[in-house]
Amino acid sequence: TQLLEQSPQFLSIQEGENLTVYCNSSSVFSSLQWYRQEPGEGPVLLVTVVTGGEVKKLKRLTFQFGDARKDSSLHITAAQPGDTGLYLCAGARRGNKLVFGAGTILRVKS
Amino acid sequence: GAGVSQSPSNKVTEKGKDVELRCDPISGHTALYWYRQSLGQGLEFLIYFQGNSAPDKSGLPSDRFSAERTGGSVSTLTIQRTQQEDSAVYLCASSRTASSYNSPLHFGNGTRLTVT
């Protein structure tokens, strides 16, 4: 059983389209992180959200942490081929052990 | 180097053999993690070291897996009597402190292990 459920598992869209990736759990997290991973490389941190209801923007990426700190979303506006990759959410609980979701594979076609 | 370094980058081994995977964390980082990633999947936690504290081994899948961290720096993950289901990418990450909130994980590029 996955502690963090990500959806969709796979997303293939055209350049310029918008998309949203979801990360849901029945557990409360003290913070939640989003990572992006490209083939052959390790994940790279995009953002950390801490406060319930928090919204952070990183250029065309908008991250939101749910009010109850159990879920999060990543919205990409006007996707570009360079956004292609595996997007992972990770939640921090007691003990500082990060728990990762299964990831969303995003493919943006030009 | 400036980042987390893992070696080897690729390892092919025969079923039943032992393998050692090495991780050099970022200098000064006190926390070190090992994760396992199957093809295109999320990360499965294996083990976590923080300073001189006893490691959190709760994610190790069997007693064939062990890890050590010498001198609070380099870590080695050992898999004994490898099985085909051990085939995966093994990722190491380090962070400056134990807190993931203000001390994000920095990952290496992983070791791709293939057991034939």
Percent of chain A with pLDDT over 70: 95
Lowest mean pLDDT among A6-10, A20-24, A89-93: A89-93
Which of A41, A45, A88 is closest, CB to CB, to B43?
Answer: A88
Contact A103, B41 (CB under 8 A): yes
Residues of chain B with Cβ-Cβ distance to A6 below 8 Å are: 42
Q: What is the mean pLDDT of chain A?
A: 92
Task: Please determine, for residue A24, whether its predicted confidence score (pLDDT) is greater than 60.
Answer: yes
- Rounded CA-CA distance A78/A3 in Å is 30
Distance from chain centroid for Cα B113? 12
Give the best residue of A45, A51, A94, A97 to mutate against chain B (max B CB count within 10 A).
A97
Q: Which residue has the higher pLDDT, B104 or A14?
A: A14
- pLDDT tens across B53-89, in order? 889 999 999 999 999 998 879 999 999 999 999 999 9
Contact B40 A86 (CB under 8 A): yes
Q: Which residue has the higher pLDDT, A96 or B65?
A: B65
Give the best residue of B6, B10, B43, B102 to mutate against chain A (max A CB count within 10 A).
B43
How many angstroms separate the CA of residue A31 from the nearest CA in chain B?
Answer: 6
- The pair of structure tokens assigned to A1 is 């059983």
Identify which of A17, A4, A19, A24 has the alpha carbon closest to the alpha carbon of residue A66. Answer: A24
- pLDDT tens across A62-81, in order? 999 999 999 999 999 999 99
